[in-house]
Structures are given as C-alpha cells and as structure tokens.
Structure 1
Amino acid sequence: MEMINEDHNIHITSKKRLSLALFINYFVHGMVLVILMQNMLSLAHSWSTSIAVVSYVISGIGIGRLIAYPITGILSDRLNRKTFVLIGMILYIIFLSAMPFASNIVFAYILAILAGVGNSALDAGTYTTLVEINNGSGKSTVLIKAFMSAGDFILPLLVFFLDSRHLWFGISFMLPAIILILNLVNILSIKFPDIQQINDGMEMISSSISKVKKIFATIGLLVYGYTSMALMLIFTQWITLYGLKVLHLSAITSHFLLSLYSIGSITGVLVISFILKQKSCEELLVVILNLTALLALVVINLATTPLVVEAASLVFGFSAAGGVMQTGLTIFMKLFPKHRGAITGIFYFFGSIASLTVPLVTGFLSTKGIGLAFNFSILISLISSVFVILVMMIMKSNKE
C-alpha cells in the first residue's frame, strides 16, 4: 500500500511540475505577442527604417503560424508532444536572442516567421498535453490564457522601465529568452504522458457520435476557431476609437475600456477554470459565454452612459476572452481524441486566418465609419453563437 501511495504522489508531483513548466512557456509567449509592437521605435531606429516597415516584419509571425499549424499539429500526433514543446521553445529562444541584433529587414522577417512556427509547435504540444494529463478536461488549458495575459501585461512595463532609464531595449528580449532557457533545462527532465494510453480511454466518446453529426460539429468548431479569435481582435483594435469617435467619451475613459476588457479576461479565466474543475460542462459553458458576449456588444451599441459601456466592456472581456476559445478547442478534441495535435493545429489555423482577414475587413469598414467597423463584431458574435449552439445540440443528443 505504501508503494502505491508513493507512486501516486510521484505522479501528482510530476503532473504539477509539467503543468507549471508549460504555463511558464505561455507567460513568455504573452510577452512575444507584444514585444515587437512595444519596441517598434527602437527597432525602426536600429534598422534605420520606418515604423511601417517594422509593422510589416510583425506580419511574419502570422505567416509562420499559417504555414506551420497544419504540419505541427499532425506531426505531434505521430511523434510526441514533448518534441514539439521543445521545438517551440528553441525557436522562441532563437527569435528573442537574435532579434535585437538583426541588422536588416530580411533577417528580421525570417526571425518573425520562426517565431510564428514556434508558436504553432508550442500550441500543438501544450494544449494536447494539458488535456491528456487531466483525462480530457479543459480546466488547465483555460489557465494558459491567464499566463499569457500576465506576460503581455508585464512586457510593456519592462519596456517603459528600460526606456525611462535609457537602457538597451534588447534587455526586454534577453530576459524572456533566459526564462525559456532555464525552463528548457527543466522540461528536458520531465516525462510527458503516453498519448495512446490516454486516447484509449477517450475513444468511446468519439465513436458514439455518428459520422454526419461529427461532420456538422467539426464545421461548427472550425467556424468557432475563426469567430472566437475575430471577436477579440475587433474589440481590442477598435473599442478605444469607438469610445472616442462614436460614443464621444473622454480619451481616458475610452482607453480605460480596454483595461476593463483585460480585467474581465483575467477574471473569466479564473472563474471558467474553477467551473471546469468542478464539472465537465464545456459545451453549455461555451454557449452561455457566447450569448453573454453578444449581449454585451449590443449593450455597448445601445448604451447612453459611460458607466454602462464600462460594465459591458468588463462583461465582454469576461465572456469572450476569458479562455472560452481554449474551451472550444477542448470540445473539438473530444470529437477526435486520437488526433488532438492535428485538431489543435487546424483550430488555430482558422484563428490565424482571422488575424489576417479581420484587420483588412474592419479597415475597409472604417472608411465608411468607425461605428460600422466596431459593430461588425455583433455579426461575428451572432454567427459564433449560432454555431456553438449547433455543436452543443449535437454533443447533447449524443449523451442522451
């Protein structure tokens, strides 16, 4: 009996250590998401070019994701999760270590593409692992969003600190690189779960769903991969201008709306993670949160006082950016337990398409009016809600 308890404790300890190591990667990932934008002036000066060119280099990350997501997802199922976590970390380390020393745009763009590939490799190895060590539950994948939010909150403060003291901007790249190097050493000694063993236990859920229902559920979840990302992008890009130009709020109030969105996002992560820890109810939760996000957007559109807009922005952050996208991915993995890596890749591939197309569409709409650009989110949210309700009905009919 003592031997069994000892083995169980070792398993629990290893699981917690692995989870923490994966979360640390996404703390750095949160920094990587904003590091080029936060250092645009310094990079432009270093390359003797304009901010517009730096913005062009940033697009390389999106290109890298689009190229790599389908490939890394499929290969992570055939090889192993740990390999792709390590690949993602190594590519991020190369990106962070080399970018401050990049002397020309071509080299910088190649590094940005490598970062996009690293992002896809990290996702393919991490989301799948967290679901597998929690017996199919998505409670841990939601926490990824919390660590990302912490990273993209701290990085701008670090950049400001370095700039205010006239220190080298490259330190903001070196510090996250050092964190990753230390975590790489840590992860090398951690054992990842056996993929096949976990899949055997989950296959019954997938096999009980008819082929036709599975096709419709797949279409719904692919659409959701696009719409869930599109909603966050539209809100973060346009809410400040919408507050200023359409709602005629003060500058400080308009900027505060984005802060409230972030607070709502972090709160949502904690609440959703707690709920999923108590009960596996991903399908119902995603529907409720999508309908809540839709309601929040309608309230913002109809609001006549700043307080109402602020409250709705907080609610929208909670419901649309509190880990609901990650929860949708968990539902998708339930359908194809033997292909979790491939599913992660294709799900975020559609999210990457949103990151490329949404700025183009909303940019065009903004020429007709800022209100039109922002309220495009209501249409996206409506489409998102319809498709997640479809998915919930399919999954619910299967359980009955």
Structure 2
Amino acid sequence: MEMINEDHNIRITGKRRLSLALFINYFVHGMVLIILMQNMLSLAHSWLTSIAVVSYVISGIGIGRLIAYPITGILSDRLNRKTFVLIGMILYIIFLSTMPFASNIVFAYTSAIIAGIGNSALDSGTYTTLVEINNGSGRSTVFLKAFISAGDFLLPLVIVFLSTHHMWFGLSFMLPALILVLNLINISSIKFPKVREIQQEETDSEVQISPIKKAIATMGLLVYGYTSMALMLVFTQWITLFGSKVLGLGLITSHFLLSLYSIGSITGVFMISLILKTKRCEEILVVILNLATVISLLIIMLAHNQLIVELGSFLFGLSAAGGVMQTGLTIFMKLFPKHHGTVTGAFYFFGSIASLTVPIITGFLSTKGIDVAFSFSLIISLVSSSFVILVMMIMKSTKE
C-alpha cells in the first residue's frame, strides 16, 4: 500500500512540475506576442527604416503560423509532444536572441517567420499535453491564458524601465530568452505521457456520432477557431478609437476600456477554471460565454453612459478572452481523441487566418467610419454564437 501511495505521489509531483514548465513557456509566449510592437520605434531606428516596415516584419509571425500549423499538428500525433515543445522553445530562443541584432529586413522577416513556426510547435505540443495529463479536461489549458496575460503585462514595464535608464532595448529580448533557456534545461529532464497510451484510454470513451454530424461539428469548430480569435483582434485594435471618436470619451478613459478588458480576461480564466473543476460542461459554457459576448458588445455600442460602457468592456474580456477559445479546442479534441495534435493545428490555423484577414477587413471598414469597423465585432460574435449552439446541439444529441 505504501508503495502504491508513493508511486501516486511521484506521478502527481511530475504532473505539477510538467504543468508549471509549460505555463512558464506561455508566460514568455505572452511577451513574444507583443515584443515587436512594443519595440517598433527602437527596431525602426536600428534598421534605419520606418515603423511601417517594422509592421510588415511583424506579419512574418502570422506567415510562419500558417505554414507550420497543419504540419506540426499532424506530426505531434505521430511522434511525441515533448519533441514539439522543445522545438517551439528552441525556435523562440533563436528569434529572441537574433532579432535585436538583425542587420537587414530579410534577416528580420526570416526571424519573425521562425517565431511563427515556434508558436505553432509550442501549441501543438502544449495544449495536447495539458488535456492528456488531465484526463481530457481543458481546465489547465485555460490557465495558459492567465500566463499569457501576465507576460503581456510585464513586458511593457520592462521596456519602460530600459528606456528610462537609457539601456539597450535588446535586453527586453534577452530576458525572455534567458527564461526559456533555463526552462529548456528544466523541461528536458521531465517525462511526458506516452501519446498512444493516452489515446487508447480516450478512445475507449470516444464520442459516438454519425459521420455527417461529426463533419458539421468539425466545420463549426473550425469556424469558431477563426471567430474566437477575430473577436479579440477587433476589440483590442479598435476599442480605444471607438471610445474616443464614437462614444466621445476622454483619451485616458478610452485606454482604460482596454485595461478593463484585460482585467476581465484574467477574471474569466479563474471563473472558467473553477467551473470546469466542479463540472465537465464545456459545450454549454462556451455557448453561454458567446451569448454574453454578444450582450457585452450591444452594451458598449448602444449605451451612452461611461460606467455602463466600462462594465461592457469588462464583460467582453471575461466572456471572449478569458479562456473560451481554449475551451472550444477541448471540445474539438473530444471528437478526435486519436488526433489531438492535428486538431490543435487545424483550430489554430484558422485562428492564424483571422490574424491576417481581420486587420485588412477592419482597415477597409474604417474608411467608412470607426463605428463601422468596430461593428464588425458584433457580426463575428453573432456568427460565432450560431455555430457554437449548433455544435452544442450535436454534442448533446450524442449523450442522449
């Protein structure tokens, strides 16, 4: 009996150490997501070019994702999760350690593409591992969002500190690179679960569904991969201008709307995690949160009271950016228990399409007016809600 308890404690300790290592990677990932945008002026000065060219280089990350997601997803199912986590970390280290020294745009754009591929490899190995070590629960994947937000929050403070003390901007790249190097040493000695053993356990309880319904649900979840990412992109890109130009709010208040979105996002992470800890109800939870997103956008667009608009921004962050996208991926994995990596790659491939197309679409719409560009988020939200309701109905029918 003592031997059994000891083995159980070892497994629990290994699981916690693995989870923490993966969370640390996504703390750095949160920094990587914004590091080029936050250093645009410094990079433009270093390359003797314009901010517009730096913006063009940033698009390389999206290109890297689009190229890699279909490949890394499939291969992570056939090889092993740890390999792709390590590949993702190494590629991020290469990106972070070379970008400040980039001497020309071609080199910089190549480095950005490497970051996009690293992002893809990291997602394919991480989301699948967290779901698999938690018996199919997506609760831990929701926590990734909290660590991403923490990285988003810390990096601008680091950059301000470096600027204030007249220190080299490249140190903002070296810090996350150092964290990854240390975590790479740590994670190299951690044992990952074997994919085939996990897949066999989940296949035994595989969702029984007709091919037609499965195809419809798959289409709905792929669309959701696009819409869930698109919603966050439209909001973060346009809420400040919408607040100041359309709602007539002050500049500080308009920026505060984005801060409230971030606070709502972190609140949503803990709320969703708590709910999923007590009950496995991913399908109904995603529907409720999507409908709450529609309501929050209507509040922001129709209300003429500052406090109510601020409440709407908080609610949007909680419902649309608190981990609901990751919860949608967990539902997708239930449909294909033997292909977690492939599903993750496909889901985030559609999210990457949103990253490329949404700025173009909203940029065109903004020529008609800032309110028109922001209203695109309501259309996306309605489409998103329609598809997740359809998926929930299909998944519910398999349990009856």
- TM-score by shorter chain over 0.5: yes
Displacement of 1:204? 4.0
Find the counterpart in structure 2 of residue 390 from structure 1: 390
In structure 2, how many angstroms separate the alpha carbons of the residues matched to 1:325 and 1:178? 29
What SS is found at the alignment partner of 1:364?
helix
CA contact (8 A) 1:329 1:347 kept: yes
Moved more, 41-50 or 118-127: 41-50
Find the counterpart in structure 1 of residue 267 from structure 2: 267
CA contact (8 A) 2:207 2:398 kept: no
Find the counterpart in structure 2 of residue 39 from structure 1: 39
CA contact (8 A) 1:257 1:313 kept: yes
In structure 2, how many angstroms separate the alpha carbons of the residues matched to 1:316 and 1:116? 27
Find the counterpart in structure 2 of residue 143 from structure 1: 143
Find the counterpart in structure 1 of residue 243 from structure 2: 243
Displacement of 1:301? 1.1
Find the counterpart in structure 2 of residue 231 from structure 1: 231
**TM-score, normalization by structure 2:** 0.99
What SS is found at the alignment partner of 2:209?
coil
CA contact (8 A) 1:142 1:327 kept: yes
Amino acid of the structure 2 residue aligned with 1:95: F
Q: Deviations over 1:95-149 (max 9, x none)?
A: 0011111111110100000000000000000000000000000000000000000
In structure 2, how many angstroms separate the alpha carbons of the residues matched to 1:379 and 1:101? 42
In structure 2, how many angstroms separate the alpha carbons of the residues matched to 1:228 and 1:65? 17
In structure 1, how many angstroms separate the alpha carbons of the residues matched to 2:40 and 2:261? 24
Find the counterpart in structure 1 of residue 98 from structure 2: 98
Find the counterpart in structure 1 of residue 25 from structure 2: 25
Structure 1: segments with no counterpart, 5+ residues: none
What SS is found at the alignment partner of 2:206?
helix
* 1:133 matches 2:133: yes
In structure 2, how many angstroms separate the alpha carbons of the residues matched to 1:48 and 1:376? 36
In structure 2, how many angstroms separate the alpha carbons of the residues matched to 1:204 and 1:182? 38
Displacement of 1:205? 4.2
In structure 1, how many angstroms separate the alpha carbons of the residues matched to 2:345 and 2:155? 27
In structure 1, how many angstroms separate the alpha carbons of the residues matched to 2:207 and 2:331? 15
What SS is found at the alignment partner of 1:30?
helix
CA contact (8 A) 1:293 1:315 kept: yes
In structure 2, how many angstroms separate the alpha carbons of the residues matched to 1:334 and 1:201? 12
In structure 1, how many angstroms separate the alpha carbons of the residues matched to 2:269 and 2:217? 25
In structure 2, how many angstroms separate the alpha carbons of the residues matched to 1:211 and 1:74? 21
Amino acid of the structure 2 residue aligned with 1:305: N
Find the counterpart in structure 2 of residue 279 from structure 1: 279
Q: Deviations over 1:321-341 (max 9, x none)?
A: 000000000000000010000
Equivalent pairs: percent with the same residue?
77
Moved more, 323-332 or 210-219: 210-219
What SS is found at the alignment partner of 2:398?
helix
In structure 2, how many angstroms separate the alpha carbons of the residues matched to 1:390 and 1:201? 28
In structure 2, how many angstroms separate the alpha carbons of the residues matched to 1:66 and 1:281? 31
In structure 1, how many angstroms separate the alpha carbons of the residues matched to 2:146 and 2:32? 15
Structure 2: segments with no counterpart, 5+ residues: none
CA contact (8 A) 1:82 1:192 kept: yes
Displacement of 1:207? 4.9
Moved over 3 A (4+): 204-207
In structure 2, how many angstroms separate the alpha carbons of the residues matched to 1:395 and 1:109? 42
Find the counterpart in structure 1 of residue 218 from structure 2: 218
Displacement of 1:6? 0.4
Displacement of 1:206? 3.2
Find the counterpart in structure 2 of residue 115 from structure 1: 115
In structure 1, how many angstroms separate the alpha carbons of the residues matched to 2:353 and 2:207? 30
Find the counterpart in structure 2 of residue 62 from structure 1: 62
Supply the RMSD in Å over aligned alpha carbons.
Answer: 0.7
Displacement of 1:210? 1.3
In structure 2, how many angstroms separate the alpha carbons of the residues matched to 1:50 and 1:125? 36
In structure 2, how many angstroms separate the alpha carbons of the residues matched to 1:213 and 1:196? 26
Find the counterpart in structure 2 of residue 48 from structure 1: 48
CA contact (8 A) 1:81 1:128 kept: yes
Q: Deviations over 1:332-390 (max 9, x none)?
A: 00000100000000000000000101111111110001001001111100000000000
CA contact (8 A) 1:205 1:335 kept: no
* 1:194 matches 2:200: no
Aligned residue pairs: how many? Answer: 400
In structure 2, how many angstroms separate the alpha carbons of the residues matched to 1:321 and 1:190? 30
In structure 2, how many angstroms separate the alpha carbons of the residues matched to 1:157 and 1:226? 31
Amino acid of the structure 1 residue aligned with 2:104: N
* 1:185 matches 2:185: yes
In structure 2, how many angstroms separate the alpha carbons of the residues matched to 1:377 and 1:39? 28
Displacement of 1:150? 0.2
Displacement of 1:241? 0.4
In structure 2, how many angstroms separate the alpha carbons of the residues matched to 1:233 and 1:383? 16
What SS is found at the alignment partner of 2:363?
helix
Amino acid of the structure 1 residue aligned with 2:245: K
Q: Deviations over 1:281-320 (max 9, x none)?
A: 1001000000000010011111011111000000000000
In structure 2, how many angstroms separate the alpha carbons of the residues matched to 1:255 and 1:132? 39
Find the counterpart in structure 1 of residue 254 from structure 2: 254
Displacement of 1:211? 1.0
In structure 1, how many angstroms separate the alpha carbons of the residues matched to 2:376 and 2:205? 36
Amino acid of the structure 1 residue aligned with 2:161: F
CA contact (8 A) 1:205 1:334 kept: no
